[in-house]
Amino acid sequence: MTWRWEYDPAEDHVVGGSPPALVPEVEKQADELVRAAAAFYLDGASYQEAGPKGNVAHVPSGFFLYLIVPRHECLYIHQVTYL
């Protein structure tokens, strides 16, 4: 399995209506967070500890809420807010 990120529940629900310049910033930051998670959870699929709590990532002109699930080897983006 390979680490990835995705919008949850769906892209149009999470970033629909966001300014076009915000979405690439969110996706760029998500890529960086996925690389960090892959390095921290080397064998995420067999991870047995309590999962990390959700967190907030700041991007230019906004922020997003996400959750890392090591056993899924996935970062889920739940909400994007633009300021």
pTM for the model stands at 0.93
Cα separation of 74 and 1, whole Å? 10
Residue type, position 2, single letter: T
pLDDT (tens digit per residue) in 29-74:
999 999 999 999 988 888 888 888 899 999 999 999 999 999 999 9
| Sole residue written with tokens 């922020």 | 63
Is residue 74 within 8 Å of 4, Cβ to Cβ? Answer: yes
Per DSSP, the residues of 54-80 read PEEEEETTEEEEEEEEGGGTEEEEEEE
